[in-house]
Structure 1
Amino acid sequence: MEQKDNTLEKQLEILNAIEEVKVNHFFKHKVLQSIKQEQEINESSTLYAWFTPKLQWAVLALVICINVSVFYYAFNAEEQTSNSNNIEGFAQEYNLQTSTSLLN
């Protein structure tokens, strides 16, 4: 028991020997400012930091709309050309063409 008391007293003496640490009052403010500056540097250094998920979805929707409109235009233009070819073939078959040739 005496040994436990001795070790306990030694530990208490060691704790009493610890002096109070003097801290600068503005230490926290300085640390927070340096962290904020590092974050600003990191944010400005990333190239695509402005490309947020909302903007990514908007760009994706725009690309899909453009693709759909291109496919629609391509298939619609194909039908128009085939219709014009059919009309020309019909006119040739029934001699309904107008020609500007003087030999006809």
Structure 2
Amino acid sequence: MKNKEVINQQVEDTFKVLDSIEEVKVNHFFKHKVLQQINVEKAEKKSVFYWFTPKLQLATLCILLLLNFGTIFYLFNNSVDNTNTVSGIDAFAQEYSLQSENNSILN
């Protein structure tokens, strides 16, 4: 029983303390000042490519895609015209004049 009485007394004391708390008056600009100090203290790291904005990324992607499509188109158009040419090692040897009648390794 004593335990319940002690607990009830502590609860009542706690409520009395809560009733005695007064309202704290703060300057109207307190929040603004604190947020400004936080922003000043916060050091933002700029990445290496901070100038590489999404607009610039999209433009770069479009240019690369156009170059790739142009290269593929050029490759397929030239492959049709070059069907009569010699291919492979023979073409390389002929281009750089590496053909010889001698079978020696040291030309």
Normalising by structure 1, we get a TM-score of 0.49
Normalising by structure 2, we get a TM-score of 0.48
